[in-house]
Every structure is written in C-alpha cells, then in structure tokens.
Amino acid sequence: MDLKESMKFFIFCLCLLANLVEAWEGYDRDQGTYIEIEKGTLVRENLDIEFYDYYEADYVQGYIESFIEYEWHIELRVYDYKQDKYRTFEMSNYNCRKYNRCRNSSEK
C-alpha cells in the first residue's frame, strides 16, 4: 500500500469514526444489549426507523410504537420487523436534545 492509499484509508477511518461518535446510543432492556440510531434519523411515534443492533451485528428496521420522555432518558417501544416482536430501548436524553430528536425539541 503506497502513501496515497494509506492516507485515503486513514481519512476514511476518521470519517467512519466521526459518524459513530454522532450516533444516538441506547440500551435494549429486552435483550440486554446496545443499539444505535444514526445521526439525522427522525425519531417519532408512528414512524419506521433503522437502527444498528449490536446483538444481531446488523441494521434492523423497526416501527416506533411509543416515545416516552423522562427526565434522564427516553423510552422507545419499537416493533422489530426482523424478530417480529416489540422491544424497549432506553435512550440518552442528552443526545435526544443535542440532535433535536425529542418530540418537543423544536419547541424549546
């Protein structure tokens, strides 16, 4: 691998890392694992979303059944199309406000 290819690879890795840092991470209480919703994903009730499931090690499609905002976290009740069941995610309230994902963020 020459210097030019090495630099391209390095820049690609930095971009990938920067994108991961911006993701909204949560904990799946039902499976005891973590999930991740990419930055820019609109998270509202009655919408389909895509999230990365660390248990499945793959991206999964789901439907947001409920979105409950507590003081310290957000609870998402999501229907997982792949597993054909409901799952409950606890998401950070801080990232919700930071990336304007909360239901009422645009009003604040």
User: Residue 40: is its pLDDT beyond 90?
Assistant: no
Q: What's the confidence (pLDDT) of residue 107? A: 38
Q: What's the confidence (pLDDT) of residue 48? A: 96
User: 53 vs 40, which has greater pLDDT?
Assistant: 53
User: Residue 15: is its pLDDT beyond 90?
Assistant: no
Structure confidence at residue 98 as a pLDDT band (50, 70, 90): low
Q: What's the confidence (pLDDT) of residue 108? A: 36
For the chain, give the mean pLDDT: 80
| Whether the predicted model's global pTM rises above the 0.95 cut | no
The dihedral built from the CA positions of residue 68, 66, 61 and 29, taken in this order, carries a sign that is positive
Cα→Cα distances 30→10, 25, 63, 78, 89, Å: 37, 15, 16, 11, 8
Q: Tens digits of per-residue pLDDT, 67-88?
A: 998 888 899 999 999 999 999 9
44 in Cβ contact with 50 (< 8 Å): no
End-to-end C-alpha distance for the chain, whole angstroms:
51
Tell me how far apart the alpha carbons of residues 19 and 27 are, in angstroms, rounded to a whole number.
Answer: 19
User: Residue 106: is its pLDDT beyond 50?
Assistant: no
